[in-house]
C-alpha cells in the first residue's frame, strides 16, 4: 500500500488582548492599561508519504515520512500607558520518519526520528509612560533558534493465554538533543545579558511496563498494568512508578459500572526551561525556568451508565508538581513577569451527569453538567505563596436538529458555559461560547455542504490576579467569531485515512 498527502494553508489571522493593572511600585500604586492588536500572515506546507507491506498474515511493515514547512510574519501595535510596535519573523521546519514492524507472534517494533528547527527574529520598540511622567524605554532586537533531534524506539509484546487471560509488556526509550539559543541586543548594539542564553542539553527517558487482562465472565473484565519511568536530564534523574487499572462490570442490559485509574507524566516544553528573558512587549517579560521539572498526574473515575442513555460519574485528579505559566508584578520596576513554575499540587474532585436525548427523527443530542472542586497550592511562587480553593460548574452538550424531511439537512449546536474558576493566582471569569454547524449531505453520500460558525458570540477570556499586592487583569481574544463554508465531493469509496501525528507538543517558542 502507498499513500501520499499534501496540504497548503495561506492566510491571515488577527488577535486582541488588553491589560489593566494597578502596579505595586515600591510603596506606591501605578495605574497601567493597554490595548494590543496583532496581525499575522502565515504559509504552511504539510506533506506525508507512507508505505506498508504485508509479508504474510500478521506480518506487516509500515514506513512513513512526515514534513512541515511554516513561515509566519506578525506585527503588533500597543497603545495606552505604553506605546509600542513589534515585528516578528519565524520559520518552522519539521522532518519525521516512523518505522513500525508487527510480527505474527504478537511482537511490535517501532522506531522514529524527528528533526525540528524554528529560527525567529523579533524587533520591539516602545515606551511606558507612568502617571508621574517617568518613562521606561525598550528598543530591543532578539534572535533565537531551537533545534531538536529526537530518537525513539519501542518494543511491545502481547500474549493471548487460555481461560481469558492476556499478558503484555514492553519498553520505550527516548533520547533528545536540544540545542537552543537567544541573543538580545539594545538600540546601541550592546548584548542584554538577561535576554541572552544558550543550551546544549541531552535528555533521556526510559519506560518499562507490564500488564495483564482477564475476561472473568461475560459480564466482568479486568485490565491492569504498571510502568516504571526514568527521566534523566542535566538537573533531574528520577524513577517514577505509574499504575493503571480498568474494571468493567456489565451488570445487565440496563446497568454498567466502570472503575478506572490512570497515571502518567507530563514534561515541560523545551523552551520554557531556558534561563533567558523574552520581552514580548514593553510591559510583559516571559522568564524561562531551568529548574522546571515534569509533573505526574493520577486520575480515578467511577462511572455508572443507566439504560445506555444516562451516565453518572465521580472523579478525582491529583497532580503533584503541576506547572503552568502565571503572572507576577514585580515591585522594583513597571513590568509583569510571566513564568512557568511548579506548584506543590493541583487537585480536582467532581461529579458529572450526562444524558442522551431524542425527539422522534427531528432532534437528538446530549447534555452534561459537571461540578468540580479545585485546590491549587504553591509555597514557592516568588514571594507570593498561594493556597486556593474553588467550586466551578460546567454545562454543555450537542443538539442536532433535522430541518427537512426529504433531505439530510441538519443544524448542530454546541453550547458551553463555565462559572468562575481558578488557575493558580488567576481568577477566571465565567465563560460562554457557542459553535454552530449547518450541514447537508446528498442521498448517495458523495456531496456535502458545511457552514460552520465558531465562537459565534465572540467570547473573550477574562482573567485577573489580586493575590497579595497583585492587581493584574488580562483579556484575550485569539479565537474570534468565524464562519467557514466547505463544499465536499468524495470520489469513489474514499475515506480519509487516520494517520499517526508527529508529537511536537514540547517543541517551539
Could you tell me the residue ranges of all domains in the chain?
2-489
pLDDT class of 509 with cuts at 50, 70, 90:
confident
**pLDDT tens per residue across span 203-224:** 999 999 999 999 999 899 999 9
User: For residues 176 and 504, what is the distance between their CA atoms, to the nearest angstrom?
Assistant: 12
pLDDT higher than 90, residue 492: no
Query: Does 494 score more than 80 pLDDT?
Result: no
At residue 162, the 3 state secondary structure works out as helix
Task: Check pLDDT > 90 for residue 243.
Answer: yes
Q: 470, 329 in Cβ contact below 8 A?
A: yes
Grid coordinates of 481:
467569531
Q: What is the spatial distance between Cα 396 and Cα 367, in angstroms, rounded to a whole number?
A: 6
Closest CA to 166 of 212, 128, 123: 212
Residue 133 has a pLDDT of: 61
Confidence label for 74 from pLDDT (cuts 50, 70 and 90): very high
CA distance linking residue 82 with residue 283, whole number of Å: 8
Alpha carbon distance 95, 68 (integer Å): 7
> Which CATH fold would you assign to the domain 2-489?
Maltoporin; Chain A (2.40.170)
Predicted confidence (pLDDT) at residue 328 exceeds the cutoff of 90: yes
**Distance from C-alpha of 340 to C-alpha of 268, rounded to nearest angstrom:** 9
Are residues 449 and 460 in contact, defined by beta-carbon separation less than 8 angstroms? Answer: no
Indicate the pLDDT class of residue 433, thresholds 50, 70 and 90: very high
- Cβ pair 150, 113 in contact under 8 A: yes
For residue 1, what is the enclosing H or E element?
A: none
- The band of 131, judged by pLDDT with boundaries at 50, 70 and 90, is low
Q: Are 62 and 17 in contact (CB under 8 A)?
A: no
Task: Find, among 202, 182, 229, 150, the residue nearest to 506 by Cα.
Answer: 150
- Taking residues 2-29, report their average pLDDT: 92
Distance CA 1, CA 295 (A): 41
Alpha-carbon separation of residue 273 from 239, 288, 325, 332 (angstroms): 20, 5, 12, 24
The pLDDT > 70 percentage for the chain reads: 99
Q: Give the residue from 385, 379, 351, 355 showing the smallest Cα distance to 367.
A: 355
**Per-residue pLDDT at 43 exceeds 70:** yes
**Region 400-414: what's the mean pLDDT?**
93
d(CA 203, CA 270): 10
Q: What one-character DSSP code corresponds to residue 420?
A: -
Is residue 173 scored above 80 in pLDDT? yes
Q: Is the dihedral of CA 478, 479, 483, 488 positive or negative?
A: positive
Alpha carbon distance 148, 494 (integer Å) = 36
d(CA 461, CA 474): 8
Unique residue bearing C-alpha cell 529548574:
291
Return the pLDDT at 135. Answer: 74
Distance of CA 20 to CAs 35, 82, 334, 418, 459, Å? 9, 12, 13, 23, 18
Across the chain, mean pLDDT equals: 94
Three-state SS at 447: strand
Identify the pLDDT of residue 33. 94
pLDDT of the residue at 316: 98
How much is the pLDDT for 27?
A: 87
How would you label 410-440 residue by residue, b for 16+ Cβ within 10 Å and e otherwise? beebbbeebbebbbbbbbbeebebbebbbbe
- pLDDT for the residue 132: 63
What's the confidence (pLDDT) of residue 468? 94
Q: For residue 109, is pLDDT > 70?
A: yes
pLDDT of residue 334: 92
Instruction: Give the per-residue pLDDT at 497.
Output: 77
Amino acid at each position: 500500500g502507498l499513500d501520499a498527502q499534501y496540504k497548503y494553508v495561506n492566510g491571515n489571522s488577527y488577535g486582541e488582548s488588553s491589560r489593566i493593572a494597578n502596579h505595586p511600585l515600591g510603596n506606591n500604586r501605578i495605574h497601567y492599561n493597554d490595548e494590543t492588536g496583532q496581525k499575522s500572515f502565515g504559509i504552511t506546507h504539510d506533506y506525508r508519504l507512507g508505505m506498508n507491506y504485508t509479508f504474510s498474515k500478521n506480518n506487516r511493515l509500515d514506513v512513513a515520512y512526515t514534513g512541515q514547512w511554516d513561515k509566519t510574519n506578525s506585527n503588533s501595535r500597543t497603545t495606552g500607558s505604553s506605546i509600542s510596535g513589534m515585528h516578528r519573523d519565524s520559520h518552522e521546519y519539521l522532518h519525521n520518519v516512523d518505522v513500525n514492524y508487527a510480527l505474527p507472534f504478537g511482537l511490535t517494533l517501532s522506531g522514529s526520528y524527528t528533526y525540528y528547527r524554528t529560527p525567529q527574529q523579533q524587533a520591539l520598540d516602545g515606551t511606558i509612560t507612568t502617571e508621574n511622567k517617568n518613562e521606561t524605554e525598550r528598543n530591543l532586537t532578539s534572535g533565537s533558534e531551537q533545534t531538536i533531534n529526537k530518537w525513539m524506539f519501542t518494543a511491545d509484546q502481547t500474549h493471548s493465554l487460555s481461560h481469558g487471560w492476556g499478558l503484555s509488556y514492553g519498553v520505550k526509550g527516548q533520547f533528545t538533543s536540544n540545542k537552543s539559543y537567544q541573543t538580545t541586543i539594545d538600540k546601541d548594539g550592546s548584548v542584554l545579558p538577561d535576554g541572552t542564553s544558550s543550551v546544549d542539553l541531552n535528555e533521556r527517558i526510559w519506560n518499562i511496563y507490564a500488564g495483564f487482562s482477564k475476561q472473568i465472565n461475560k459480564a466482568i473484565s479486568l485490565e491492569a498494568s504498571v510502568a516504571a519511568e526514568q527521566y534523566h536530564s542535566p538537573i533531574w534523574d528520577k524513577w517514577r512508578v505509574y499504575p493503571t487499572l480498568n474494571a468493567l462490570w456489565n451488570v445487565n442490559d440496563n446497568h454498567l459500572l466502570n472503575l478506572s485509574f490512570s497515571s502518567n507524566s507530563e514534561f515541560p516544553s523545551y523552551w520554557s526551561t531556558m534561563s533567558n528573558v523574552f520581552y514580548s512587549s514593553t510591559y510583559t517579560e516571559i522568564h524561562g525556568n531551568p529548574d522546571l521539572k515534569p509533573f505526574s498526574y493520577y486520575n480515578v473515575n467511577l462511572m455508572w451508565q443507566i439504560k445506555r442513555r444516562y451516565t453518572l460519574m465521580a472523579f478525582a485528579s491529583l497532580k503533584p508538581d503541576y506547572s503552568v505559566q502565571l503572572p507576577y508584578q514585580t515591585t522594583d520596576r513597571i513590568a509583569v513577569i510571566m513564568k512557568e513554575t511548579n506548584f506543590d499540587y493541583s487537585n480536582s474532585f467532581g461529579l458529572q451527569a450526562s444524558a442522551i436525548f431524542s425527539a422522534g427523527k427531528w432532534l437528538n443530542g446530549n447534555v452534561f453538567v459537571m461540578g468540580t472542586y479545585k485546590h491549587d497550592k504553591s509555597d514557592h511562587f516568588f514571594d507570593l505563596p498561594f493556597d486556593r480553593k474553588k467550586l466551578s460548574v460546567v454545562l454543555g452538550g450537542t443538539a442536532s436538529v433535522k430541518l427537512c424531511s426529504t433531505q439530510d439537512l441538519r443544524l448542530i449546536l454546541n453550547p458551553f458555559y463555565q462559572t468562575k474558576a481558578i488557575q493558580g493566582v488567576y481568577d477566571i471569569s465565567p465563560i460562554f461560547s457557542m459553535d454552530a454547524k449547518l450541514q447537508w449531505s446528498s442521498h448517495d453520500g458523495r456531496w456535502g455542504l458545511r457552514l460552520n460558525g465558531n465562537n459565534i458570540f465572540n467570547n473573550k477570556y477574562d482573567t485577573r490576579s489580586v493575590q497579595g499586592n497583585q492587581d493584574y487583569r488580562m483579556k484575550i481574544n485569539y479565537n474570534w467569531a468565524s464562519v467557514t463554508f466547505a463544499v465536499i465531493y468524495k470520489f469513489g469509496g474514499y475515506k480519509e485515512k487516520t494517520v499517526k501525528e508527529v508529537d511536537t507538543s514540547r517543541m517551539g517558542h
